[in-house]
Amino acid sequence: MEERLKVNYNHANFMDHSLRHQYLKAPKSGKSVEIPQYDYVAYTYKETSIYFKPNKVGIEGVLLLTDKRLYEERDFSILSVLV
């Protein structure tokens, strides 16, 4: 647990881009998506997942746009700016 507390979750290297790429590809082929739930208290994935079949896929956040595969597979993207 102590090692997990040292991880910078706001860095692009932390993100599981391969898993997110699978999420973006599945709907385009008519498949459902399984999304694991993350436990922010224990810093691990929970044993439960959410399943759904989206029509369109978007991504939010500039860090997700750092991966070319994610950028190319999305239908749209949103960038939030707080001022």
- The whole-number pLDDT of residue 15 equals 67
Q: Is 19 contained in some domain?
A: yes
CA-closest candidate to residue 12, choices 65, 69, 60: 65
Higher-confidence residue: 41 or 79? Answer: 41
Q: Is 29 contained in some domain?
A: yes
Q: Is 24 contained in some domain?
A: yes
Q: Is 6 contained in some domain?
A: yes
**How deeply is 32 buried, as exposed, middle or buried, from its count of CB atoms within 10 A (0-12, 13-18, 19+)?**
exposed
User: 80 to each of 27, 29, 63, 74, how far by Cα in Å?
Assistant: 24, 29, 11, 17
Structural domain of 73: 2-78
Q: Is 69 contained in some domain?
A: yes
How many domains does one find in the chain?
1
Global pTM reads: 0.47
Q: Is 83 contained in some domain?
A: no
Q: Using the predicted structure, report yes or no on whether residue 52 has a pLDDT greater than 80.
A: yes
In which band, very low, low, confident or very high, does the pLDDT at 4 lie, cut at 50, 70 and 90? low
- The whole-number pLDDT of residue 34 equals 84
CA-closest candidate to residue 70, choices 80, 57, 81, 79: 57
Q: Using the predicted structure, report yes or no on whether residue 80 has a pLDDT greater than 80.
A: no
